Amino acid sequence: MDAKYGSMDTKLIHAGEISPRIEGAITLPVFQTSTYEFEEGLGYHDIPYIRMNNTPNHLALHQKLAALENAEAALVTASGMAAISTALLAVLSSGDHFLVQDCLYGGTHDFITQDLPSLNIAHSFIKGSAPETWKSKLRDTTRAFYVESLTNPLLEVTDLESVVAFCRENGLTAIIDNTFTTPVNFRPAEVGFDLSIHSCSKYLNGHSDIVGGAVIGSADLVKKVTRKLNHLGGSMDPHACFLLLRGLRTLALRVRCQNRNALQIARFLSQHPEVENVNYPGLENHPGHDRAARLFDGFGGMISFELKGGIEAVERFTDRLRLAIIAPSLGGIETLVTRPATTSHAGMSHEELKEAGITDTLVRISTGIEAPEDLIADFNQAISP
Ligand SMILES: *Cc1c(COP(=O)(O)O)cnc(C)c1O
């Protein structure tokens, strides 16, 4: 970490930028070249080549991302799923077992339950906020613990301090998907996580125009993940690197605005007579509020809620929205609305959805950076019976 770029806002602009500037260019150009002139004495992993994740566009991002989370090193990948699958395959081998939070991003859930077992990598699901139950799931072969900072779509706050303490006590690698919180609101290395993972397709890029991922952590572990990525090939393209670096520069402005907008919208919804309940960790009555207030610098841009009128009311609501767009994904500058039961969690059976507390009528909002009064007016006209 470069101490001279002390604050988040300054690091976002200056950390990792190439010095001296190339031809004086203020913006790092796209190095649209797959290969580079041969240099004597370089090992396989050090040859400059896009798949080796070591071109100038990659290296600038690696330094900036590591600085943002006060970690030693970082790596960008072709997608969030490339980051997750490659990190897990770097940390776990055949015969290993790991603990996994029971509520997960759908792609991660499917990778762990459908792909890892055929590589003889076993898992046990645990409840992220019930640390007293974790010990009984430990095996001699348990090597890692995988959690998400906020669950999707119910926005539960995992007991992250207990996860780190449990990993220390039992020699496990602590891995967190930090996509929903972003480095602006939470920096996992500061509480002792070994690896932090992002889907950069969401807040880090922030403009809904690329897919990308990142793995951030200790130099040793990131090197291990990098070697695995060099082999598996899920590297980020230089043009996507360029867009991600550009998007990152406004991360703090965007996320702080999304924190503020989401809190206002959550308060509006929670006071509306047609609204049954609201899940947002910034609301004082949310079960994870105290933990979120202690760990996070902001409560994020994601909200979910249920209307009183059932399916009919939800359909009327989504039909009537004029500003908020009905679309999956999240973390961009525009406000998006989805029904998780029919989109992100459509792969789950009715029973699984019920068990997870995701009803047919649950609506998820990814808050954008529009004026909050305009968003609230849009939600208000769409909700009225
Ligand atoms: C979107 C998402 C992913 C997957 O990222 P992709 O870039 O779509 O591969 C992983 N984790 C979380 C929490 C996400 O929201």
Contact 198, 204 (CB under 8 A): yes
Tokens matching residue 258: 């999304």
Contact 186, 68 (CB under 8 A): no
Do the bridges between strand 195-199 and strand 213-217 make them parallel or antiparallel, or are there none, so unpaired?
antiparallel
Contact 214, 182 (CB under 8 A): no
Tell me the residue type at 384.
S
Contact 313, 385 (CB under 8 A): yes
Tell me the residue type at 53.
N
Q: Which of 5, 105, 146, 280 is catalytic?
A: 105
Tokens matching residue 142: 């348990």
Q: Say if residue 44 is exposed, middle or buried (CB neighbours under 10 Å; 0-12, 13-18, 19+).
A: exposed
List the one residue out of 251, 263, 272, 260 whose CA is nearest residue 303. Answer: 263
- How far away, in angstroms, is 25 Cα from ligand 1 center? 33
Tokens matching residue 213: 């991922």
- How far away, in angstroms, is 234 Cα from ligand 1 center? 15
Residue 184 neighbours by CB under 8 Å, 6+ apart? 8, 251, 252, 255, 256, 297, 298
Asked, colleague to colleague, whether 8-248 and 251-383 share their fold, the answer is: no
Ligand 1, atom 7: closest residue by C-alpha: 80
Q: Which of 96, 177, 194, 378 is catalytic?
A: 177
List the one residue out of 382, 183, 375, 158 whose CA is nearest residue 266. Answer: 375
Below-50 pLDDT ranges, the chain: 1-2
Q: For helices 56-68 and 238-248, give the axis angle rounded to 10 degrees.
A: 30
Q: Which of 202, 224, 228, 364 is catalytic?
A: 202
Supply the CATH classification number for the domain 251-383: 3.90.1150.10
Would you list the domain boundaries of the chain? 8-248, 251-383
- How far away, in angstroms, is 246 Cα from ligand 1 center? 20
Do the bridges between strand 122-126 and strand 97-101 make them parallel or antiparallel, or are there none, so unpaired?
parallel
Q: Give the pLDDT confidence score for residue 261 in this predicted structure.
A: 98
Q: Give the pLDDT confidence score for residue 366 in this predicted structure.
A: 98
Q: Which of 36, 51, 267, 297 is catalytic?
A: 51
Do the bridges between strand 73-77 and strand 122-126 make them parallel or antiparallel, or are there none, so unpaired?
unpaired
Q: Give the pLDDT confidence score for residue 38 in this predicted structure.
A: 87
For residue 148, the ligand 1 atom closest to its alpha carbon is 13
Q: Give the pLDDT confidence score for residue 347 in this predicted structure.
A: 74
For residues 222 and 230, give the distance between their C-alpha atoms in angstroms, rounded to a whole number. 12
DSSP 178-198: -TTTHHHH--HHHHT-SEEEE
Active site residue 110: no
- How far away, in angstroms, is 150 Cα from ligand 1 center? 13
Active site residue 202: yes
Q: Give the pLDDT confidence score for residue 5 in this predicted structure.
A: 66
Model confidence over 290-325: pLDDT tens digits?
999 999 999 999 999 999 999 999 999 999 999 999
For residues 46 and 346, give the distance between their C-alpha atoms in angstroms, rounded to a whole number. 42
Q: Give the pLDDT confidence score for residue 352 in this predicted structure.
A: 80
For residues 88 and 1, give the distance between their C-alpha atoms in angstroms, rounded to a whole number. 25
Domain 8-248 has CATH 3.30.70.2190: no
Which residues does residue 77 pair with via DSSP β-bridges, in sequence order?
213
Q: Give the pLDDT confidence score for residue 1 in this predicted structure.
A: 41
For residue 212, the ligand 1 atom closest to its alpha carbon is 7
Do the bridges between strand 142-148 and strand 97-101 make them parallel or antiparallel, or are there none, so unpaired?
parallel
| Pocket (CB within 6 angstroms of ligand 1) | 79-81, 105, 107-108, 148, 152, 177, 179-180, 199, 201-202, 211, 213
153 cis-preceded (ω within 30 degrees of 0): yes
Ligand 1, atom 8: closest residue by C-alpha: 80
Active site residue 177: yes
| Other C-beta atoms lying within 10 Å of the C-beta of residue 111 | 17
Whole-prediction pTM: 0.96
- How far away, in angstroms, is 86 Cα from ligand 1 center? 14
Q: Give the pLDDT confidence score for residue 2 in this predicted structure.
A: 47
Which residues does residue 217 pair with via DSSP β-bridges, in sequence order?
73, 195
Active site residue 203: no
Contact 363, 338 (CB under 8 A): yes
- How far away, in angstroms, is 105 Cα from ligand 1 center? 7
Contact 108, 260 (CB under 8 A): no
The SS3 call for residue 290 is: helix
